[in-house]
Chains A and B, each alone.
Chain A
Amino acid sequence: MSKVIFDFMGKRNYMFGFSAVLILVSVAALLFQGLTFGIEFQGGTVMHFVDTGDITIEDVRSAFNDEGVEGAQIQTADDGGFIVRTSEGDPDAANVAYQAVIEKLGITEENGDVTTIGPGWGKNITRSSMLALALSIAAILLYISVRFEYKMSLTAIVALVHDIVITLGVYSLMGREVTPNTIAALLTIMGYSLYDTIVVFHRIKENGARLVKQSFMSMANESVNQVLARSINTTVTSMLPPLMMMFFGGETLKDFAFALVIGLLSGAYSSIGVASPIYSMWKEREPKYKALKKKFARAS
Chain B
Amino acid sequence: MDPKQRNVLSIALIVVLVGVAWWGFWPLDEKITQGLDIQGGLSVILTAQETSATPVTNDVMDRAELVVRNRIDKLGASEVTVQRQGADSLLVQLPGIKNSEEALDALGTTGQLEIRDVESTDATGNPVLGPILLTGDVITDATIGTDPTSGEIEVAVTFNSEGTKQWAEITRNRIGRQIAIVLDGKIESAPVVREAILDGSTAISGGFTADEAKRLQTVLETGALPVSLIFSESRGVSATLGQDSLQKGVTSALIGLGLVMIYLALYYRGFGVMAWLSMITFSSLFLGVLAILSNYGWFALSLPGIAGIVLTIGLAADSSILIMERFKEEVRMGKTFRSAARSGTKHAILTFLDADLVTFTSALMLYMVAIGPVRGFALTLMIGIVIDLVVATLFTRSVMIILAESVVPKMPTLFGVKGGGANE
Contacts and interface: CB of A to CB of B under 8 A. Distances in A.
Contacts of A116: 231, 233-235
Interface stretch (B194-202, B284-292, B318-326, B394-402): B318-326
Nearest to B328: A1
A262 to B, nearest CB: 14
B104 A95 contact: yes
B373 A144 contact: no
B351 to A, nearest CB: 5
A191 B363 contact: yes
A110 B355 contact: no
A199 B310 contact: no
Interface stretch (B120-128, B220-228, B254-262): B254-262
A275 to B, nearest CB: 13
Nearest to A247: B252
B18 interface: no
A241 B359 contact: no
SS class, residues of chain B in contact with chain A: helix
A92 B251 CA distance: 35
Nearest to A89: B231
A120 B49 CA distance: 11
SS class, residues of chain A in contact with chain B: helix
A243 B355 CA distance: 24
Interface in A176-216: 180-181, 183-185, 187-188, 190-191, 194-195, 198-199, 202-203, 206
Nearest to A201: B354
A233 B321 contact: yes
Interface stretch (A9-17, A60-68, A126-134, A285-293): A126-134
Contacts of B56: none
Interface stretch (B129-137, B203-211, B236-244): B236-244
Interface in A208-262: 226-227, 229-230, 233-234, 236-238, 240-245, 247-253, 256-257, 260
A203 B350 CA distance: 11
Contacts of B368: 132, 135
Contacts of A203: 351
Interface string B357-383: 111011111101111111001100100
Contact of B311 (A111, A251, A260): A260
Interface stretch (B160-168, B300-308, B403-411): B300-308
Contacts of B306: 253
B253 interface: yes
A251 B370 CA distance: 23
Given A110-B240, A117-B232, A131-B369, A250 B263 contact: no
A48 interface: yes
A73 interface: no
Contacts of A40: 233, 372
Interface in A98-118: 99, 109-118
B86 interface: yes
A121 interface: yes
Interface of A: 1, 3, 40, 48, 50, 89-92, 94-96, 99, 109-118, 120-121, 124-125, 128-129, 131-132, 135-136, 139-140, 143-144, 147, 180-181, 183-185, 187-188, 190-191, 194-195, 198-199, 202-203, 206, 226-227, 229-230, 233-234, 236-238, 240-245, 247-253, 256-257, 260
12 contacts: A1-B332, A92-B108, A113-B241, A121-B45, A124-B47, A132-B366, A132-B368, A194-B355, A238-B315, A245-B249, A249-B249, A256-B304
